[in-house]
């Protein structure tokens, strides 16, 4: 009988993966190797050729978009296969708990709490705790559930707060008494349900004779344990993933799940999909050569039948402005929609936005707002706007209670308006001062603190070297810095990096009223220009490396390839973090179809200060024969590296770090030409730093 076209069109390894039968199967699918095609074709093959009922097939993935695409493809291959259950992990958990949750006290109509609901419930339990602290508790509860840990387990690595187990326990007790579940429960409780109820577990195992898991490298501990409960000796289990693309450790993903799959499921057959259908030969050679430096991987080597193509270009540039100019020159051909500029942190987008607008190159930001539209940036600019124009009511309303000063709507009305609906004063700073005595209690203290801040800033402005230094002081004195540091800690964001980049942007302007007005005017013009370009579809994509997963472009620029930025400096001594950063580099490289540009700067301005930079260690791992180099790499002997650092931070040096407090240097080593110091802090934390990149955060204390 003639094979269907959807089977004959596969390459040899793809076909082996599709027709494999009972034993556990691990498909190692390299970037661009047709992974989704193999998964969907395998489902079609099981139904059409082996006679499996679609009802007996469960396929899980990580996003609703991926699940919808998989369903659509399966149905187009075999119309009778639409009965297969294809869901996200969490959607499957919700389905399971609504039908079987009674032993856990869940009704089929239970409500799923989102992050705001969780925060609201915590607030009712712990009214005296500030909102930021409640956010951190909520985050840690979610992390504990991702690791299948109950309030009675050892939670020391989740939170150093000795009260955290109590918070977690009281939250769980209240949530269970209400009869609802939060997002983490959809996996956590599903695993618990099956572990404690053999009858339900047996029924599920009997129904789902085939289980497929896509993007397995992104699974966490709870998802792995749920999978264990679903699998029986008779299950046809298949997982698909790429250990080299595991880049979500910060979200709880465990690369060990895929690395240890053969140990957890004996008799596993491993099939490697190494033929790439996306990129040219030189690009694939670079990607494979770099990621081969990781020890924690199962190993594969991408190849292609396509031509070798253009060699990737590595450009050494003087600073981030030259970096953006370099990218703009390559984009002069107008082929913008097929081009992407990648960076490690969102803060790096500012210079690219500025330079691309200068050359009238349209762009779109993926996964974030335009730099000057971000909340933390708008908050800082509101302070500057109000200092420039005390009649700016929009700016005034934004700053008056940001961060919180206890000034509510009633107090704000007393400050702004009289008995009618008119402003008491066009000068809102005067109105603020006139309200002293009228506004009482906590709000009154808040008004006084804001008045003091504004007076202090006006005195400070002419004393600063430039507007960036003034803005740095304003962000610190206003409380915005501490406010967003806490948010970064809770939400795993990089808002402080954006504040630092805003300081850098302001550094070119004098610290006076004229410089302030010029800076604010430039931003307004930039924003107006951006709004005009919104309708153009031919735009360069600006995107973080993490957000590129699953995307591809003809031309890719990977920027900021410097130590301390990529890989990031805080994780310098953690080999697991370095391996994840290297995997992120691999993912970024394999987004490129035809052209790849890598950029590294000799100097980079951070928080208003120009710092010497060293090339990323990953650049030393590039294969020379597959890369063209423009410019000269900075010489370590010509300004940084081994010069004089050893004596600056000897063991025993007392230092202060704004994030970690007071500490003492306990170790000094040279690594790859860089000084690395290890600091033990009084809080109990031990951290590693590169002084040449993070020295501006380290303040030496007297002995």
Q: Which of 40-49, 53-62, 531-540, 561-570 has the lowest mean pLDDT?
A: 531-540
Angle between helices 375-388 and 467-478 (to 10 degrees): 110
Catalytic residue (choose from 37, 405, 591, 604): 591
Contact between 569 and 693 (Cβ < 8 Å): yes
Confidence band of 12 (pLDDT split at 50, 70, 90): very high
Measured CA to CA, the distance from residue 434 to residue 437 in angstroms comes to 8
Instruction: Say whether pLDDT at 571 is over 50.
Output: no
Confidence band of 357 (pLDDT split at 50, 70, 90): very high
Quick one: pLDDT at residue 667?
Answer: 66
Quick one: pLDDT at residue 636?
Answer: 41
The stretch 612-632 carries a mean pLDDT of 92
Quick one: pLDDT at residue 415?
Answer: 81
109 marked as binding residue: no
Task: Give tens-digit pLDDT for 14-28.
Answer: 999 999 999 999 999
Q: Which of 353, 608, 358, 360 is nearest to 505 (CA)?
A: 608
Q: Quote the percentage of the chain above a pLDDT of 70.
A: 91
Quick one: pLDDT at residue 1?
Answer: 60
Residue reference for tokens 């630092």 = 500
- Name which residue leads in pLDDT, 365 or 419: 365
Buried (b) or exposed (e) across 321-330, using 16+ Cβ within 10 A?
ebbbebbbeb
Q: Which of 670, 674, 683, 679 is nearest to 697 (CA)?
A: 679
The stretch 63-91 carries a mean pLDDT of 90
Buried (b) or exposed (e) across 189-228, using 16+ Cβ within 10 A?
bbbbbbeebeebbeebbeebbbbbbbbbbbbbbbbbbbbe
CB atoms within 10 A of CB 631: 15
29 marked as binding residue: yes
Tell me the DSSP string of 673-697.
Answer: TEEEEEEEETTS-EEEE-HHHHGGG
Quick one: pLDDT at residue 702?
Answer: 64
36 marked as binding residue: yes
Catalytic residue (choose from 13, 48, 75, 215): 215
- DSSP state for residue 82 in the 8-state scheme: T
Angle between helices 185-196 and 221-230 (to 10 degrees): 40
The stretch 583-591 carries a mean pLDDT of 97
Q: The dihedral of CA 348, 350, 353, 355: what is its sign?
A: negative
Confidence band of 600 (pLDDT split at 50, 70, 90): very high
Quick one: pLDDT at residue 698?
Answer: 76
Give the ranges where 147-233 is alpha helix by DSSP (H).
Answer: 164-178, 185-196, 198-207, 221-230
Catalytic residue (choose from 36, 464, 662, 697): 36
Quick one: pLDDT at residue 493?
Answer: 82
Q: Which of 591, 612, 600 is nearest to 560 (CA)?
A: 600
Residues 6+ apart with CB under 8 A from 523: 372, 381
Instruction: Say whether pLDDT at 703 is over 90.
Output: no
Q: Catalytic residue at 215? A: yes
Quick one: pLDDT at residue 643?
Answer: 30
**Mean pLDDT across the chain:** 88
Q: Catalytic residue at 591? A: yes
34 marked as binding residue: yes
Confidence band of 232 (pLDDT split at 50, 70, 90): very high
Measured CA to CA, the distance from residue 554 to residue 673 in angstroms comes to 36
3-class DSSP assignment, residue 210: strand
How far is Cα of residue 416 from the mean position of the Cα atoms in its chain?
40
CB atoms within 10 A of CB 131: 13
Catalytic residue (choose from 40, 41, 245, 590): 245
Contact between 645 and 675 (Cβ < 8 Å): yes
Catalytic residue (choose from 13, 15, 35, 225): 35
The stretch 593-613 carries a mean pLDDT of 88
Report strand pairing: 540-544 vs 313-317: unpaired
Quick one: pLDDT at residue 422?
Answer: 44
30 marked as binding residue: yes
3-class DSSP assignment, residue 508: coil
- Name which residue leads in pLDDT, 659 or 287: 287
The stretch 93-113 carries a mean pLDDT of 93
Task: Give tens-digit pLDDT for 524-550.
Answer: 766 655 555 555 689 999 999 999 988
CB atoms within 10 A of CB 532: 9
Q: Catalytic residue at 223? A: no
Contact between 633 and 615 (Cβ < 8 Å): yes
Alpha carbon dihedral 254, 259, 261, 263, in 10-degree steps, equals -120
Instruction: Say whether pLDDT at 642 is over 50.
Output: no
The stretch 408-416 carries a mean pLDDT of 82
Quick one: pLDDT at residue 696?
Answer: 58
Q: Quote the percentage of the chain above a pLDDT of 90.
A: 65
Confidence band of 437 (pLDDT split at 50, 70, 90): confident
Give the ranges where 9-63 is alpha helix by DSSP (H).
Answer: 12-19, 35-48
Measured CA to CA, the distance from residue 553 to residue 597 in angstroms comes to 12
Q: Catalytic residue at 541? A: no
Q: The dihedral of CA 216, 221, 222, 226: what is its sign?
A: positive
Quick one: pLDDT at residue 508?
Answer: 87
Joined together, the tokens standing for residue 569 give 């400096």
Q: Catalytic residue at 116? A: no
8 marked as binding residue: no
Quick one: pLDDT at residue 535?
Answer: 57
3-class DSSP assignment, residue 361: coil
Contact between 626 and 282 (Cβ < 8 Å): yes
Confidence band of 428 (pLDDT split at 50, 70, 90): confident
Quick one: pLDDT at residue 270?
Answer: 97
Q: Which of 68-77, 219-228, 592-601 has the lowest mean pLDDT?
A: 68-77
Contact between 227 and 211 (Cβ < 8 Å): yes
Task: Give tens-digit pLDDT for 671-690.
Answer: 555 677 777 777 666 677 77
- Name which residue leads in pLDDT, 607 or 109: 109
Rg (CA), the chain: 28
The stretch 253-262 carries a mean pLDDT of 94
Q: Catalytic residue at 648? A: no
Task: Give tens-digit pLDDT for 198-213.
Answer: 999 999 999 999 999 9
- Residue 541 has phi, psi (to 5 degrees) of -90, 125
Angle between helices 115-125 and 164-178 (to 10 degrees): 110
């Amino acid at each position: 009988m003639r094979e269907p076209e959807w089977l004959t069109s596969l390459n040899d390894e793809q076909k082996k993966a599709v027709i494999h039968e009972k034993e556990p199967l691990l498909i190692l699918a390299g970037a661009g190797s047709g992974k989704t095609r193999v998964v969907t074709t395998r489902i079609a093959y099981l139904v059409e050729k082996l006679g499996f009922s679609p009802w007996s097939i469960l396929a899980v993935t990580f996003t609703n978009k991926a699940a919808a695409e998989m369903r659509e493809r399966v149905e187009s291959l075999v119309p009778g296969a639409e009965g297969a259950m294809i869901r996200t992990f969490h959607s499957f958990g919700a389905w399971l708990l609504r039908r079987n949750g009674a032993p856990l006290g869940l009704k089929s109509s239970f409500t799923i709490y989102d992050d705001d609901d969780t925060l609201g419930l915590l607030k009712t339990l712990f009214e005296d705790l500030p909102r930021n602290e409640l956010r951190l508790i909520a985050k840690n509860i979610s992390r504990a559930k991702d690791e299948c840990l109950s309030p009675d387990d050892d939670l020391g690595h989740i939170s150093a707060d000795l009260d955290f187990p109590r918070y977690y326990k009281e939250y769980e007790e209240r949530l269970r008494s209400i009869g609802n579940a939060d997002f983490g429960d959809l996996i956590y409780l599903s695993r618990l349900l099956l572990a404690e109820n053999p009858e339900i577990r047996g029924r599920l195992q009997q129904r789902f004779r085939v289980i497929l898991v896509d993007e397995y490298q992104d699974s966490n501990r709870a998802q792995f344990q749920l999978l264990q409960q679903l699998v029986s000796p008779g299950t046809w289990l298949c997982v698909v993933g790429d250990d080299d693309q595991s880049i979500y450790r910060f979200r709880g993903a465990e690369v060990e799940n895929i690395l240890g799959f053969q140990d957890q499921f004996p008799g596993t057959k491993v099939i490697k999909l190494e033929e790439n259908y996306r990129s040219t030969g030189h690009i694939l050679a670079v990607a494979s050569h770099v990621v081969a430096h990781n020890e924690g991987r199962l190993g594969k080597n991408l190849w292609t039948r396509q031509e070798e193509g253009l060699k990737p270009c590595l450009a050494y540039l003087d600073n981030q402005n030259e970096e953006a100019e370099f990218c703009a020159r390559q984009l002069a051909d107008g082929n913008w929609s097929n081009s992407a500029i990648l960076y490690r942190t969102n803060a790096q987008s500012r210079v690219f936005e500025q330079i691309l607008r200068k050359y009238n190159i349209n762009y779109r930001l993926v996964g974030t707002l335009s730099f000057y539209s971000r909340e933390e940036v708008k908050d800082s600019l509101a302070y500057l706007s109000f200092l420039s124009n005390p009649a700016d009511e929009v700016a005034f309303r934004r700053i008056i209670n940001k961060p919180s000063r206890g000034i509510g709507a009633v107090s704000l009305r007393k400050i702004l308006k009289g008995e009618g609906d008119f402003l008491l004063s066009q000068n809102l700073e005067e109105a603020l001062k006139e309200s002293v005595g009228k506004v009482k209690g906590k709000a009154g203290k808040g008004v006084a603190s804001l008045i003091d801040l504004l007076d202090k800033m006006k005195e400070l402005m002419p004393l600063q070297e430039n507007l960036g230094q003034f803005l740095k002081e304003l962000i610190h004195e206003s409380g915005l810095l501490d406010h967003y540091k806490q948010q970064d800690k809770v939400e795993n964001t990089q808002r402080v990096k954006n504040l630092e980049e805003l300081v850098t942007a302001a550094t070119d302007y004098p610290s006076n009223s004229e410089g302030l007005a010029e800076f604010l005017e430039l931003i307004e013009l930039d924003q107006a220009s951006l709004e005009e370009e919104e309708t153009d579809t031919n735009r360069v994509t600006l995107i973080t490396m993490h957000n590129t997963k699953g995307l591809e472009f003809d031309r890719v620029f990977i920027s900021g390839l410097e130590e301390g930025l990529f890989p990031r400096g805080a994780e310098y001594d953690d080999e697991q973090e370095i391996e994840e950063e290297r995997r992120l580099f691999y993912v970024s490289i394999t987004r490129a179809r035809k052209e790849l540009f890598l950029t590294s700067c000799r100097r980079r301005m951070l928080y208003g200060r120009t710092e010497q930079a060293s090339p990323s260690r990953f650049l030393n791992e590039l294969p020379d024969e597959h890369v063209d180099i423009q410019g000269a790499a900075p010489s370590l002997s010509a300004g940084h590296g081994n010069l004089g650092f050893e004596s600056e931070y000897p063991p025993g040096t007392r230092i202060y770090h704004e994030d970690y407090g007071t500490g003492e240097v306990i170790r000094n080593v040279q690594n790859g030409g860089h000084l690395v110091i290890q600091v033990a802090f009084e809080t109990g934390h031990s951290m590693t730093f590169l002084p040449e990149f993070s020295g501006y955060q380290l303040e030496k204390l007297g002995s």
